[in-house]
Amino acid sequence: MVSGERLLLIAAEPREFWGLLKFCRNVRRLNWPVHWARAVELNGREGVLVANGAGPARAAEAVEAARPFGKLGLICSIGYCGALLEEMQAGAVFVAERVRSCGKEYVTVLPDCDRHHYKGVLASISHVAQTAGEKRALREKGASAVEMEAAGVAAKAEELGVPLCCIKSVTDLSGESFHLDFNRALRPDGRFDTMRLIAASCRRPLTLLPELLRLGKRSRTASWTLGEFIGNCRF
């Protein structure tokens, strides 16, 4: 039996939902003005999964697209993040207690889940944190993880008066810098230009190709650990 108000889960890319879909029933495609949207049943509740590209503006647009389609009981920003704590490894799950962006903080609600996870402040910025130095600076300001979408979701949740939750999974570590320039590869539609990244990797295959392959492997791991965690949450 599906009951209660609708859950809205926002990610940047459909693959961030791969691990969660096995916990969903009655998955149905939605023709919304976003990159990807599915209606689902998740743990006895009606839910909507939306992926609309990277960055706060694209995430805010995803929330806006859901507004005409029923009352929301919870909005959850999910997806990949960068670790700011040394102990957080690839695939580690991070639950934000607060979202910090541009000097503002948003308070979140915490899901009930007995699986291991980290908690703390999530720094939500408008670009990929490319270097270990930038990550270190964010850590020194009290954040434990960094990503790009939660601020856009948080602002909309506050506007609508709907509780906010943020659950992320680690793809890059605190001491790592990217040699690939992911910010230059980000298109206006919020998608990363895969061909541009592959072309760049081929020009410096010994350095860049292993980095791209490693990130792909970690992203798959993060998708599954994220899905396992959310699939076992009680919101």
Query: 89 near 65, Cβ under 8 Å?
Result: no
Q: Of how many residues is the chain composed?
A: 235
Q: How far apart (Å, rounded) are the C-alpha atoms in residues 91 and 19?
A: 12
Q: What predicted TM-score, i.e. pTM, was given to this entire model?
A: 0.94
Summarize the confidence of residues 226-231 as an average pLDDT: 97
Amino acid at 166: C
DSSP 97: E
H/E run at residue 213: helix 208-231
Question: What CATH number is given for 6-231 in this structure?
Answer: 3.40.50.1580
What pLDDT sits at residue 69? 85
Comparison of pLDDT for 68 and 3, the residue scoring more: 68
Query: For 85-111, how does the pLDDT look when each residue is reduced to its tens digit (9 = 90+)?
Result: 999 999 999 999 999 999 999 999 999
